[in-house]
Amino acid sequence: MNILHRSKGFTLVEIMVAVAIVGIMAAIALPAYFQYVTDARRSDGRANLLQLAQFMERYYTANGRYVDAAGNAPALPFIEAPRDGADKFYDLALGVITAQTYTLTATPKNALAGDACGTLTLNQAGVRGAGGNIDECW
């Protein structure tokens, strides 16, 4: 009587196939994930620009112009985005400002320094700008 004894476990080929499948899945999923993270950070920068635009409009409503009597720009309530958290991805600033016009800028930094959209802008007329494609960046 010949009894066959079967070993338990996986063969090297089976393990290598599983590793290859996981590698292919990671190669597809990681770039999509990183793009999602970049888009979320950019969205936060845009939201902060819009909040600063609201601040500027409230200032204009109260004072009748975007600068004070001496021609100085108002101090922005925050100058980095996101407002909370340790990692900051945008420097927010007032660019060109006059009594009747302003331009807000969000300059990418740290992990977003090489972002294709570059510096995001917003002016008093609601005109949006970016270093890249406006439709993709805004």
pLDDT at residue 9 tops 90: no
Whole-angstrom CA distances from 50 to 28, 89, 106 are 34, 16, 11
User: Mind listing the pLDDT tens digit for each residue in 39-55?
Assistant: 999 999 999 999 999 99
pTM for the whole structure: 0.79
Is residue 3 predicted with pLDDT exceeding 80?
Answer: no
Are the beta carbons of 121 and 113 closer than 8 angstroms?
A: no
CA-based end-to-end distance of the chain: 77
- Provide the pLDDT confidence category of residue 34 given band limits of 50, 70 and 90: very high
- What mean pLDDT value characterizes the chain? 91
Summarize pLDDT for 113-129 with one digit per residue, the tens. 888 999 999 999 999 99
